[in-house]
Structure 1
Amino acid sequence: MVWALSVTETVAYGVLYYSFAVFLVPMREAFDASTAQLSAALTLAMALTGLGAVVVGRWLDRYGARWVMTAGSLLGAASVVAWSQARDLVQLYLAFVGVGLASAAVLYEPAYAVINTWFRRDRHKALLTLTVVAGFASTIFLPTSQLLIDGVGWRTALLLLAGILAACALPHALLLRRSPADLGTVPDGRPDELPEEPPATSEPVATESPEDGADRGAGGAWRRPAVRWLTLATALEMLANAAVAVHLVAYLLERGTPPGLAAVAAGGLGALSVAGRVVLTVLAARAGIGRVTALMVTGQAIGVGLLFLLPQPAATVVFVLLFGAGFGVIHIARPALLGTYVPPSVFATVSGHQALAGQAGRVVAPVTVGALITGLGYGAAFAAIAACTLAAAALLLASERAAKAV
């Protein structure tokens, strides 16, 4: 199941998100529109993904991921078909309404809910597999999309990608179930007759009991400081990562960095993020995932400082190593920590609200940091990015302390 989800997540991210960058150039000519006008379609989709995650989270807690992910794959495919046939900006935006809603149903959030339900002891390993495999979505689908555009044109290329996405509905429908009990097992795949072993992790496991009192339910979960601090940490970290992803190349070019090195640096963040997830999972087994994540996020702030202090090209290399290592760790840490903070019956609902907060950070990052660059320069903008990562690290540690104090 984990490997099937990993493959479908890779396809969904590749088709619904990463491929957009490759289609921008031919769409500019087809629509006679600016990059900003076309990018507004993706921004609209991202905003709707965050809002949709709240509704999808409630569905997941009640009914599971099987049919929402199946329907999301089909809706996503239909939306990509509509994208391929759009003749003006209004039609493009309408198509991306569907892309955004489909993304809420098929990207990381429902997959996190599945893993949280099906795994306890092996949850970190399952999250690692999912996020590492899906981390190659851009590596696979950016060149694939370009090859298809060169071979058959951008509209036909989108139709082919829509077909690949539609095929993901099949494993979702056939393999996913609401809970292990549907197949006569318990989390981690052990037979029902065997007693469940405690998970091999330093974090406590959240369970439901009659003593939960006021803390039962999604509303009660938000009264827990650990959940609130984790949510704010997620938003700040997503904001910082999105800002760097958008503005790093322009900054490096302004400093006289060769275009080739600037492009490699931007691509290196994605590659290092995969390595960072592996490092996080290995070290978390010994030191705890919250502390290790906070350390790696702090490393991002150090990387930002060295980007301005060291000479080039050493500054760029060190920055990519430090910032890239922490670039994707929140995607493992957030669901892993949340699974220990809240009962399984409300995990997806709370996670959906956290996804909305994280998505809000991603949406506002380009504009907010862009305004700082225009008004105060790159130094102030990157200082703000470093401040966000340091605050996120402090909040991660605060969430850990709050959880242990309960």
Structure 2
Amino acid sequence: MSEARGIPDRTLFWGMATTQLIGWGTIHVPFPLLVAPIADELGWSRVLINGAYTAGLLAAGLAAVPAGRWLDRHGPRGLMNTGMLGAALLLFAMSLVQHPAAYVAIWILLGLVQAMCLWGTAMAVVVAEARDVRRTVTSITFVTGFTVTVFVPLSGALIDLLGWRGAVQVLALMQLGAAFGTVVMLRDARVPARGVTVRAGPGLRARLKEPAFLGLALCFSAHAFIGMGLGAHLIPLLRARDWPEATVLLIAAAHGPAQVTARMLLFAAGRRVTMRSVGYLASCLVPVGMLALATGPTSLALTAVFVLCWGMGDGLLTIVRTAGAAEILGREGFGAISGALSAITVAPRMAAPLLLALLWEAADGYGPVPWLLAGVGLAVAGGFILAARQPDGGVSAR
């Protein structure tokens, strides 16, 4: 990309933090709260309502690589601006929906625009534009970490006050504001010169066969499986241990503070640590946490170890997913590479809740589930170690 101008890191931080907070908060966070009122009003089955959402996730994964290629070749302005505006229009369309086919189509289109403007693409823009990728990504995650905290009560209040259709219309207006913010943020974005190839080295297909890419793909896919699996099953798993409900909710809620603590420590460490070393620590914390969960079904102390290790590892891996991958694989052509990493994690994200539910049913309880998660946690660590042992793929992520 041209070295002229570019977006200042401070602008990237405020712009991406705000627009990603709103983007995720309007599209994804309200969905569980909308299922019941949509089913009640329209008489649709929850299988249909949830299936449409799942189809949107699949569409986002399939569109991730084409979106990344477009970003590398043409820059972010057209891609992200169109995606953010499209998300606002589709949310407004959802507020008017009456037919199940239209509802399914809207979620599939939302998946496509998500690939154009939400996390994977946004972080690829940060990698391309930021002077200090790690510091910028870490700062953004401080803000986006509060997405659920902000939008769950906000969405619930809007539904209570305006009904689900009115609530979605307000969310669409908020997304329209995020679209305007994206346009402003990307005014100075670098645009590749016409006729200049993005990368002089191997093409994307060859890069996908490199040990470094394969290791990161294994690491992030296993991490995605654990994250989605625990998101769906952690509270019922803890309830099955016959602890008081307040204890169960406190353990589940402690994940967020552990994430924030880890990110604050990384921010404070600055350039004294490399993203490789951060990735080693984060990826190894995951299996330790899962083993603590598996070996201490009646131990609050071991459960606290689980929360601390999983929360800190999860919080750091979100940053490693961008800054660490850029340090290992290089920053050139990162849009397509990031898109490929996102696409690979779709299947484990979608499969994890169902597979853990089937294991629970077969075992008549959650007993073997933490042991499976511990095995997957070893894949997180093993994949990152394989990737990190390879030579640098390009310019450091600084």
TM-score (norm 1): 0.85
Q: Deviation per CA, 1:106-160, whole angstroms, max 9, x where unpaired?
A: 211121121111124x110001012221111111111100111111111100000
The equivalent position to 1:318 in structure 2, one of 299, 305, 310, is: 305
Does the aligned pair in 1 maintain the 2:94–2:103 contact within 8 Å? Answer: yes
Which residues in structure 2 correspond to 1:298-313 (within 5 Å)?
A: 298-310=284-296, 311-313=298-300
Quote the Cα distance in structure 2 between the aligned partners of 1:32 and 1:313: 43
Quote the Cα distance in structure 2 between the aligned partners of 1:138 and 1:112: 19
Does the aligned pair in 2 maintain the 1:4–1:171 contact within 8 Å? Answer: yes
Corresponding residue for 1:393?
381
Which residues in structure 2 correspond to 1:68-217 (within 5 Å)?
A: 68-120=79-131, 122-177=132-187, 179-180=189-190, 215-217=201-203
The equivalent position to 1:257 in structure 2, one of 224, 243, 251, is: 243
**CA, structure 1 residues 282+373, in 2 after alignment: closer, same or farther (shift >3 Å)?**
farther
Mapped pair 1:241 → 2:227: yes
**CA, structure 1 residues 42+294, in 2 after alignment: closer, same or farther (shift >3 Å)?**
farther
Q: Deviation per CA, 1:60-108, whole angstroms, max 9, x where unpaired?
A: 0011111211111111112112222222433321221122112111211
**CA, structure 1 residues 288+261, in 2 after alignment: closer, same or farther (shift >3 Å)?**
same
Does the aligned pair in 1 maintain the 2:75–2:190 contact within 8 Å? Answer: no
Q: Secondary structure at the match of 1:86?
A: coil
Q: Which range is displaced more, 224-233 or 264-273?
A: 264-273
Q: Deviation per CA, 1:11-68, whole angstroms, max 9, x where unpaired?
A: 0011111111222232231233444432222211111111111111011001111121
Mapped pair 1:356 → 2:343: yes
Does the aligned pair in 2 maintain the 1:63–1:178 contact within 8 Å? Answer: no
Q: Which amino acid aligns with 1:262?
A: V
Does the aligned pair in 1 maintain the 2:72–2:335 contact within 8 Å? Answer: yes
Q: Which range is displaced more, 282-291 or 135-144?
A: 282-291
Q: Secondary structure at the match of 1:378?
A: coil
Q: Deviation per CA, 1:181-202, whole angstroms, max 9, x where unpaired?
A: 89xxxxxxxxxxxxxxxxxxxx
Mapped pair 1:226 → 2:212: yes
Does the aligned pair in 2 maintain the 1:270–1:327 contact within 8 Å? Answer: no
Quote the Cα distance in structure 2 between the aligned partners of 1:268 and 1:89: 38
Q: Secondary structure at the match of 1:402?
A: coil
Following superposition, the deviation at residue 325 of structure 1 comes to 1.4
Following superposition, the deviation at residue 343 of structure 1 comes to 4.7
Does the aligned pair in 2 maintain the 1:217–1:346 contact within 8 Å? Answer: no
Does the aligned pair in 2 maintain the 1:124–1:336 contact within 8 Å? Answer: yes
Mapped pair 1:267 → 2:280: no
Mapped pair 1:380 → 2:359: no
Quote the Cα distance in structure 2 between the aligned partners of 1:158 and 1:264: 30
**CA, structure 1 residues 241+33, in 2 after alignment: closer, same or farther (shift >3 Å)?**
same
Q: Which range is displaced more, 5-14 or 270-279?
A: 270-279
The equivalent position to 2:36 in structure 1, one of 22, 25, 38, is: 25
Runs of at least 5 residues in structure 2 that lack an aligned partner in the other structure: 1-10, 193-197
Q: Deviation per CA, 1:167-210, whole angstroms, max 9, x where unpaired?
A: 1121222221574589xxxxxxxxxxxxxxxxxxxxxxxxx99x
Mapped pair 1:13 → 2:24: yes
**CA, structure 1 residues 265+327, in 2 after alignment: closer, same or farther (shift >3 Å)?**
same
The equivalent position to 2:50 in structure 1, one of 39, 62, 67, is: 39
Corresponding residue for 1:330?
317
Does the aligned pair in 1 maintain the 2:16–2:122 contact within 8 Å? Answer: yes
Q: Which amino acid aligns with 2:226?
A: A
Does the aligned pair in 2 maintain the 1:273–1:326 contact within 8 Å? Answer: yes
Following superposition, the deviation at residue 249 of structure 1 comes to 0.9
Q: Secondary structure at the match of 1:326?
A: helix
- Alignment: residue pair count: 376
**CA, structure 1 residues 181+398, in 2 after alignment: closer, same or farther (shift >3 Å)?**
same
> Aligned-residue CA RMSD in angstroms?
2.4
Does the aligned pair in 1 maintain the 2:237–2:366 contact within 8 Å? Answer: yes
Following superposition, the deviation at residue 405 of structure 1 comes to 10
**CA, structure 1 residues 216+334, in 2 after alignment: closer, same or farther (shift >3 Å)?**
same
Does the aligned pair in 2 maintain the 1:9–1:108 contact within 8 Å? Answer: yes
Q: Which range is displaced more, 329-338 or 276-285?
A: 276-285
Corresponding residue for 2:77?
66
Following superposition, the deviation at residue 401 of structure 1 comes to 0.7
Quote the Cα distance in structure 2 between the aligned partners of 1:272 and 1:216: 40
Quote the Cα distance in structure 1 between the aligned partners of 2:303 and 2:330: 43
Q: Secondary structure at the match of 2:333?
A: helix
Following superposition, the deviation at residue 320 of structure 1 comes to 1.9
Following superposition, the deviation at residue 283 of structure 1 comes to 5.0
Quote the Cα distance in structure 1 between the aligned partners of 2:37 and 2:299: 34
Quote the Cα distance in structure 2 between the aligned partners of 1:90 and 1:316: 44
